Amino acid sequence: MLIPSILQAGGVKVKPLLLRSGHWFNISALNDIDIHTAVSILREQYAAWKKPAVSIVAQCERNPYKVLVSCIISLRTKDEVTAKASERLFARAENPADMAELSIDEIASLIYPAGFYRNKSEQINEISRRLVSDYGSTVPEEIDELLVFKGVGRKTANLVLTLGFGKQGICVDTHVHRICNRWGYISTKSPEESEKMLRKKLPAEYWIPINDLLVAFGQNICHPVSPRCTVCRLTGLCSRVGVTVSR
């Protein structure tokens, strides 16, 4: 059964819907006009959601070094663990020079039980030493230079640029990659492809906030498996690409 565009609660215009197995599905992709509506809705809801740990660090103090270290700790680690681990570590050392004075074992004990805490402690130690010796204890502002450091990928580098320096960039993690493809806004196979496509398509005004918004959205509503579509205010804009089971 197909119905034409209708008006959703709040006056949000939705696209043609298809009734299948008792559920309504969009049959067209999120377009450039829809992205403004989607971001507006996400911003309204963001205040009520649990914030990503790295964003909390950045909001408390825009410090590129702390953002960089927190990003390293956060990889494959729950936000609540990242937040506590970062707090313990920065209480002992909050700049590259002080961090370089700590042993790898000390750093490891402070960030435990973060995932892969031993490897991360080695990375934090090495990066801190290089920042002191090669960069005058200052985190570089260019993405290519950041990518030279061990353990720093494009996600971390972009977060340092956007949250640490307030510079333009798009941080694409698994949430941003998954949700933008699920919406039908882009069609890509990897976060790297998604970043390239979003740089071409996403309005520049959303480059910095999109990661925070979609990480919180992905953690609270748009889960990787069985997303909470029945309570999602973006249902009328979403193509639900790849969604087979939802709540």
> Does 189 qualify as catalytic in the annotation?
no
d(CA 227, CA 222): 5
- Asked if residues 93 and 102 have their Cβ atoms less than 8 Å apart, the reply is yes
d(CA 236, CA 88): 43
Please pick, among 15, 66, 120, 155, the residue that the annotation labels catalytic: 155
> Does 134 qualify as catalytic in the annotation?
no
* Burial environment of residue 69 by CB neighbours within 10 A (0 to 12, 13 to 18, 19 or more): buried
d(CA 15, CA 236): 7
- Asked if residues 65 and 55 have their Cβ atoms less than 8 Å apart, the reply is no
SS (H, E, C) 151-204: CCCHHHHHHHHHHHCCCCCCCCCHHHHHHHHHHCCCCCCCHHHHHHHHHHHCCH
Please pick, among 173, 189, 201, 212, the residue that the annotation labels catalytic: 173
**Tally of CB atoms within 10 A around 119:** 14
Residues known to be catalytic: 155, 173
